[in-house]
Amino acid sequence: MKLLLRLMMVLGLGLLLGGCASYEASADPGRSLTKTQRFFVASNLNDNHGLDRQLVEALRAHGRTAELGPLTMMPDDTQVVLTYADRWTWDFGDHLVYLQLAVRDAHAEQTFATVAFGAKVPLREPANTTLGRLVDNLLKK
């Protein structure tokens, strides 16, 4: 019964958001973030919306340890580095239209997991809600 209810909710949400927004997540085969505890969010100098702080808050809400800053400030015990790219549009206020999160090992350059949000029509929800969904999807991978 629970499975049927979840399926109906997902389908309903899909119909509601169909054509408006998309969420895509991928991870290399055999790689998972479910047991990763120590994240470092690399600050993006082009970020005028404080997404790095919001990412840290979302990770901490999931019980993970997360720090932020430039890569030169990364703690030695960091397991993975999270980077992000965002795009915004203005329509009587800033609206997030694209956000991609990428994860790599702390001492490697190769990304092994990504999750992205894209909207053809800007959603009228706060950026931290969208960001929370992306973090949820990323940690399930």
Q: What is the CATH number of the domain that holds 49?
A: 3.30.160.670
Q: Are 101 and 114 in contact (CB under 8 A)?
A: yes
- Give how many domains the chain has, as a whole number: 1
Q: Are 15 and 54 in contact (CB under 8 A)?
A: no
What's the confidence (pLDDT) of residue 41?
Answer: 97
Q: Which domain holds residue 123?
A: 21-140
Q: Is residue 15 part of a domain?
A: no
The predicted model scores a pTM of 0.78
| Below-50 pLDDT ranges, the chain | 7, 13-15, 17-19
Q: Is residue 100 part of a domain?
A: yes
Q: Is residue 16 part of a domain?
A: no
Q: Is residue 89 part of a domain?
A: yes
Q: Is residue 5 part of a domain?
A: no
